[in-house]
């Protein structure tokens, strides 16, 4: 299924797939492809950084669910529903998010470019950690890889991505995207 180019709908699709992986997780302590993170930490990352991003940049407070330690499924669902409500709110079209690192952007654009993309990529981490289907939308993988390669120096200097992992010649776009962001595309629980 091709992902929408409309931020609210793209979030619904991307977060929906992540939600499926959250509900399919049987071991929250399973190691993940992100060094020193378990499956639970993938959810923790997404539910903890976005609220601060929105409150500091746009004055938006998301509803708080239970802690990821107590109930990762409910923590994710409350968070996900809160972000979706912001994107579905007609007033969002008139709001901006301001951040010292990215300047001012329309709120829905900021959520789409920074948060929804993060959910998309971390879907692979959670899927791989928990033995679920880890395939990502190939067209969106290609779009992200193209955009990120054009700004590699900025991305690498941000400290948000690991060193590029070399991938085999002729690798598909998902494999190349994972390698670009510093993941071992062939990682498995050992």
Check: CB of residue 11 under 8 Å from CB of residue 116.
yes
> pLDDT band for position 66 (50/70/90)?
very high
- Taking residues 74-83, what's their average pLDDT? 98
> pLDDT band for position 20 (50/70/90)?
very high
> pLDDT band for position 1 (50/70/90)?
low
The per-residue pLDDT of the chain, averaged, comes to 95
Cα separation, 24 vs 41, in Å, equals 16
Cα separation, 29 vs 86, in Å, equals 31
- Taking residues 101-125, what's their average pLDDT? 95
- For the cut 90, the answer to whether the pLDDT of residue 21 exceeds it is yes
Q: List alpha helices for 24-168, DSSP H.
A: 39-58, 72-88, 107-110, 117-130, 138-149, 152-158
Cα separation, 10 vs 1, in Å, equals 11
Locus of tokens 């930490």: 41
Domain coordinates in residue numbering, the chain: 7-117, 137-190
| Residue 174 dihedral angles phi and psi, to the nearest 5° | -65, -45
Cα separation, 108 vs 115, in Å, equals 10
Check: CB of residue 28 under 8 Å from CB of residue 133.
no
- For the cut 90, the answer to whether the pLDDT of residue 127 exceeds it is yes
pTM for the structure as a whole:
0.95
Helix, strand, coil tally for the chain in percent (to 5): 60, 5, 35
Q: Identify any residues that bridge with 104 across adjacent strands, giving them in sequence order.
A: 98
Cα separation, 28 vs 87, in Å, equals 29
Nearest to 75 by CA among 109, 124, 41: 41
Q: Which pLDDT tens digit goes with each residue over 137-187?
A: 999 999 999 999 998 888 887 777 888 999 999 999 999 999 999 999 999
């Amino acid at each position: 299924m091709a992902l929408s180019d409309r931020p609210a709908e793209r979030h619904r699709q991307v977060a929906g797939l992540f939600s499926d992986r959250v509900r399919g997780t049987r071991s929250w302590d399973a190691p993940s492809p992100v060094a020193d993170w378990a499956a639970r930490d993938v959810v923790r990352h997404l539910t903890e950084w976005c609220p601060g991003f929105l409150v500091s940049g746009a004055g938006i407070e998301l509803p708080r669910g239970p802690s990821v330690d107590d109930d990762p499924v409910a923590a994710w669902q409350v968070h996900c529903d809160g972000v979706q409500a912001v994107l579905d709110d007609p007033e969002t079209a008139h709001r901006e998010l301001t951040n010292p690192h990215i300047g001012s952007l329309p709120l829905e654009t900021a959520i789409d470019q920074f948060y929804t993309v993060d959910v998309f990529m971390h879907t692979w981490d959670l899927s791989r950690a928990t033995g679920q289907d880890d395939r990502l939308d190939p067209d969106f993988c290609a779009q992200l890889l193209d955009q990120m390669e054009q700004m590699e120096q900025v991305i690498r200097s941000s400290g948000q991505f690991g060193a590029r992992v070399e991938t085999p010649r002729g690798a598909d776009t998902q494999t190349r995207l994972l390698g670009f962001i510093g993941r071992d595309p062939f990682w498995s629980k050992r």
